[in-house]
Amino acid sequence: MFGRCGISGLAALLMLGGHVAAAQEARPSVGEAPERDTDLLLLQQRSMLTPRGQWVLEPSLSYVHTGSLEVSIEGFTIIPAVAIGLIDVSETERDTSSSGLALRYGLTNRVEIGVKIPYVHREQRIRRRDILEGTDLDTLITSDGSGLGDIELGINYQFNTTDRGRPFFIGDLRFKSRSGKDPFEVERREILDEEGRRIGDILLEQPTGSGFKGAQASLTMIFPSDPAVIYSSVSYLYNFERDVGGSYGVVRPGRVVGASIGLGLSLNDRTSISFGYDHSIVYRTEIELDSGLDPLFERRHVGTLMWGLSHRMTARSLNVSIGVGATEAAPDVQVALRFPVRLAR
């Protein structure tokens, strides 16, 4: 998703691609706040989760766009700002659209379980040019992929049922499968250096999953202060290692530590808006047979400014969220629509 312009080692793809996306999809985001966090009528109740014995069906649509430009120089500098050698310019655009169906059920007024099934479509376009190779032509590489994404299971627990004036605390535990087509299953072409060593890969088909199982724990604080709601969360995502064989061996995906904070404001008894900031720290993925040629940083920071809108109807609501990247590794823009529907008993 945010690898080296799509032409990178698998470590870059995993650390900045599947697992950043998994972190953003798995943990409560500011865009999800309007339904639970900023619907002030819910604050009159002693429970913030799905009521006992009730079902909530939630269709959703999302779109993410990422663009990047990279200039790579292989050579040396004689005087400042004058480089002698090969200059490679790569421009990458990625579009990810997904639809999902989530189902939640209230075991009690303080315990909720749920499942989410996504369908993912990805497109990637890479435009490259070796400036000092004696050609004025650009190389355009395109790839795409569609299919089932990684299915998630989750359980939420509300620790307290306090009255107004005190915050609510909700704990979430989620498990992510690897039901989607992972980066090890798609068709690829290796990039070799002059000595025949692999220095990267070009994906000829886009994966729909991260390729690793994961578990995430998070804690959300919701503090009502009429007519506003202050909310924040912290989370930790652990991805389980996997022996993928081939030229990689055992791959240990990097962990992801995240936090978010925001403010929800009620406009009337049905409509509310929210503003917030979401930040994740994605640590480096370790590969047993790594060649060591990929200049990966130990961690990447993914920050997103979020805006959300929620409108509640009788048995359903419409939630819209828009995110704008605040750091280099973050997507340029993300848009999500969700339509929670409370099913009759």
pLDDT tens-digit series, residues 16-48: 333 333 333 333 333 333 333 334 334 444 567
For the chain, count helices (H), then strands (E): 3, 20
Please name the residue that has the structure tokens 């993914």.
302
Q: Are 261 and 276 in contact (CB under 8 A)?
A: yes
Residue 282: name the closest of 9, 20, 17 by CA: 20
Report percent pLDDT > 70 for the chain: 70
The number of angstroms, rounded, from the C-alpha of 107 to the middle of its chain's C-alpha atoms is 28
In CATH, the number for domain 7-343 is: 2.40.160.40
pLDDT value of position 24? 37
Q: What is the DSSP string of 96-130?
A: EEEEEEEEEEEEETTEEEEEEEEEEEEEEEEEEEE
pLDDT-derived band of residue 136, with 50, 70 and 90 as boundaries? low
pLDDT of residue 159 exceeding 90:
yes
Buried b (16+ CB within 10 A) or exposed e, 228-243: ebbbbbebebebeebe
Q: What is the DSSP string of 35-57?
A: HHTS-GGGGGSS--SPPBT-EEE
pLDDT of residue 276 exceeding 50:
yes
pTM of the model: 0.78
More confident residue, 197 or 318: 318
Structural domain boundaries in the chain: 7-343
pLDDT value of position 18? 36
Task: Give dist(CA 225, CA 149) in Å, integer.
Answer: 38
pLDDT-derived band of residue 196, with 50, 70 and 90 as boundaries? low
HEC sequence for 275-321: EEEEEEEEECCEECCCCCCCCCCCEEEEEEEEEEEEEECCCEEEEEE
